[in-house]
A and B are shown apart, each in its own frame.
Chain A
């Protein structure tokens, strides 16, 4: 008997253990990856529920209230796309971080005269794909003011090549998200909806 060879039984057991370890490893890594990826949409949905709550509170009190104690952004407005039946709570703060929870308002030089809202194409602004010129948008601010806008143009532009008229005459609302909608990787293109105040 050759003592150097493994027995068939022993060899199989060894390989099975290896395979089990591999399976465990793949399941762990894949699971972790899937779960961490799934955080984003989950967070986006959950946060909106909390934000709606906080916005209602804010509306009642007349000032913006932080949706959770450690938040550095607050719910400042509700954006509604009437035809599409979509509605989102808008966060202040103008940061990419806030966009994980909802559309965020980014400051412009024109204050309220030009409102720029940004959100992710996969979550809160997924409906921008369906948006058309002529659609009406309603922006209800936490101070109780309600402004209605009409979409006048849709534009696709690189993120750093976008310009506003230096002296816009009508009050404007700009919605921005990434483009194309189906892309998996972030790119330089942005989809912008221009809307002009009508009421």
Chain B
């Protein structure tokens, strides 16, 4: 049916008007279309954002850890189950302890086990991609950060399950008699500061350190993890405790076995296991290993806690608090509460300042002020009102904190960071600290359920301080009290190590300052292990020394690789303090990775099943598995309103999402209209004035 519509007079009038409008304004508007679109670096970045679609490949993870002495050997098995009727490639981004050394990759396909080989990064990638094209099953482990890895599995058949198993070792941290094994289960979002996007390599890196986030509506039952820990610390462990997970413990006199209380947990927060010893903490631990014709030793020495009752001299304390969008949810209250507690410990003779940052920063005072009751209560109100919002641009805040108006001052200057470390430019932080530390010391408090522990450890190391974690609101006071107590006690300084007999190639090369209750962990390499190792230092004002007989070391299978891993940290430290250039650092890291068969940012593990499985002509679909949002993070805040752009909701590649440029939906006519009207107003004033002149 055809309806006839009569054109009224109005319609004709409007059409005429439109012709005029069209002629006058249209082309100028079209010409203005393209401006402001070209953001530097924005060209290749694409939002990985969040996903509401269940992935075709489902992941289940099982973690088995064996703690013997002061080292944990951990096996992580990831099962990739393809629920679709297509051939799939799946990649999964996951965190590991920041000082762990991954040395084994096994891929299990049906009955067969394929063992991974270590290869230089690019070569490994080529081997993997070639196998993928040929239709062979392949697995690849790559490192993007010392605590951030990515597994890729190619050619998972319809309905098939492929197991990928990696193994690593990591030292167990011990502070004030409390031992702690921290197994991160999920990578938090990393903010990519725009200034770091300098080229294609930087863009690729930004893509690598982020993954899409599963929308809460699909996150139930996604990425489940089971964990079991066999504890054999060499003494009877007591007070075994996991602060964030339900655990079941079965034990004998000297060992314990820990399982998750409810079988499986979602991979959405760090798993932490703590234990203590009944008697006094062993002062010395000594382990050795022969590897490739050389001998390696790990020595753990705990200096005595100083007993002086002397009053702490006045201090200057700079608190730097992160109020970026990733802190929204449970982290911000935990950070606020930690800061408020720290403020309450200030004495009137101390000086202090607060710096807050997101993608902007504010200093409460332009310079540190005296901790008078008035100043402290003002600061407290300021801290209590901080809201989480925006990106994580830490560098300006770090620079501001390191700016010292009295660099020759005698007072102790302590900078305390409260942050989740959700950023991708770690190297810039370490570089800044290593060049402008001066008399300041840097302390890190990792906030929230999935902090970037790599940043915490390395910033504290470069800043000759120490670090701790506040996993949730309720821990704020107790954990801050522990750390601030240690900060207020004399420090063990001027540590030096000497060896009789054969020389030892020791790492860390620069020995740290030790805070009360912290052990010195040394790793060394030598042709033949013998003789004595003597450590000397100043505890407060008293000289202290300890001598170990290296022949007494116990065998351990992890020492050599931990040495290599620690040496790589040294190389990284030399890189960011500009002692060696990037190419030199890369080649040294690659050599160590190849020799010790460990994954580094220059070496990857790759496994290829020679039997082709995907029939020719069948399509392969790529998928990047979504991560759960870390517990306590505010999804709506991150993906709903505020942020995305500022938190660089990170980019994705064409495989997992089709990128779409959005049209520009704005007409900047309001300011032009306003300017025009303003000019007319001025003209009218001039006109009136001229009339008045005539009258006069």
B680 / chain A contacts, CB cutoff of 8 Å: 26-27, 30-31, 34
Q: Contact at B663–A50, with CB atoms within 8 Å? A: no
Interface check A35, CB cutoff 8 A: yes
The proximity string for A residues 24-49 relative to B, scoring 1 for CB distances below 8 Å and 0 otherwise, is: 11111111111111111111101101
In A99-118, the 8 Å CB interface with B consists of: 99-100, 104, 106, 108-109, 116, 118
The proximity string for A residues 167-199 relative to B, scoring 1 for CB distances below 8 Å and 0 otherwise, is: 111000000111000011111111010000000
**Which of A15, A22, A153, A190 contacts B693, CB < 8 Å?**
A15
| A123 to B, closest residue via Cβ | B667
Q: Contact at B49–A177, with CB atoms within 8 Å? A: no
Q: Contact at A152–B52, with CB atoms within 8 Å? A: yes
Interface check B410, CB cutoff 8 A: no
Most buried by A among B26, B640, B664, B677: B664
Q: Contact at B683–A25, with CB atoms within 8 Å? A: yes
Q: How many angstroms from the CA of A161 to the CA of B671 in the assembled complex?
A: 28
Q: Contact at A116–B687, with CB atoms within 8 Å? A: no
B26 / chain A contacts, CB cutoff of 8 Å: 43, 97, 100
Q: Contact at B18–A43, with CB atoms within 8 Å? A: yes
B48 / chain A contacts, CB cutoff of 8 Å: 163
Q: Contact at A38–B661, with CB atoms within 8 Å? A: no
Chain B residues touching A, range: 35 or more
Q: Contact at A177–B666, with CB atoms within 8 Å? A: yes
Q: Which of B149-157, B159-167, B650-658 contacts A (4 or more CB under 8 A)?
A: B650-658
Given known A56-B5, A156-B642, A157-B644, contact A166–B663 (CB-CB < 8 A): no
Given known A31-B676, A159-B37, contact A116–B669 (CB-CB < 8 A): no
The proximity string for A residues 44-88 relative to B, scoring 1 for CB distances below 8 Å and 0 otherwise, is: 101101100100110011000000100000000000000000000
| A94 to B, closest residue via Cβ | B663
Interface check B312, CB cutoff 8 A: no
| B33 to A, closest residue via Cβ | A96
Q: How many angstroms from the CA of A35 to the CA of B669 in the assembled complex?
A: 10
Q: Contact at B669–A165, with CB atoms within 8 Å? A: no
Counted as pairs of residues, one from A and one from B, with CB atoms less than 8 Å apart, the total is 262
Q: Contact at B683–A160, with CB atoms within 8 Å? A: no
Q: Contact at B1–A60, with CB atoms within 8 Å? A: yes
Q: Contact at A33–B29, with CB atoms within 8 Å? A: no
**Which of B36, B643, B678 contacts A185, CB < 8 Å?**
B36
**Which of B17, B49, B678 contacts A46, CB < 8 Å?**
B17
Q: Contact at A36–B645, with CB atoms within 8 Å? A: no
Interface check B566, CB cutoff 8 A: no
Q: Contact at B665–A153, with CB atoms within 8 Å? A: no
| A109 to B, closest residue via Cβ | B658
Output the least CB separation between B651 and chain A (Å): 6
Output the least CB separation between B657 and chain A (Å): 3
Interface check B382, CB cutoff 8 A: no
Given known A27-B683, A34-B680, A60-B5, contact A162–B640 (CB-CB < 8 A): no
Q: How many angstroms from the CA of A154 to the CA of B642 in the assembled complex?
A: 10
| A196 to B, closest residue via Cβ | B52
Interface check B25, CB cutoff 8 A: yes
Given known A118-B662, A119-B665, contact A26–B670 (CB-CB < 8 A): no
Interface check B249, CB cutoff 8 A: no
B42 / chain A contacts, CB cutoff of 8 Å: 158, 160-161, 188
Output the least CB separation between A59 and chain B (Å): 8
| B642 to A, closest residue via Cβ | A156
Interface check A121, CB cutoff 8 A: yes
**Which of A16, A43, A123 contacts B25, CB < 8 Å?**
A43
Question: What are 26 residue pairs bridging A and B, where the CB atoms are less than 8 Å apart in the complex?
Answer: A20-B690, A26-B680, A30-B677, A33-B679, A39-B669, A40-B25, A43-B22, A46-B17, A46-B18, A96-B33, A97-B33, A100-B667, A121-B665, A153-B52, A153-B639, A157-B644, A158-B39, A160-B661, A161-B47, A161-B645, A162-B661, A163-B46, A163-B49, A163-B658, A176-B665, A178-B664
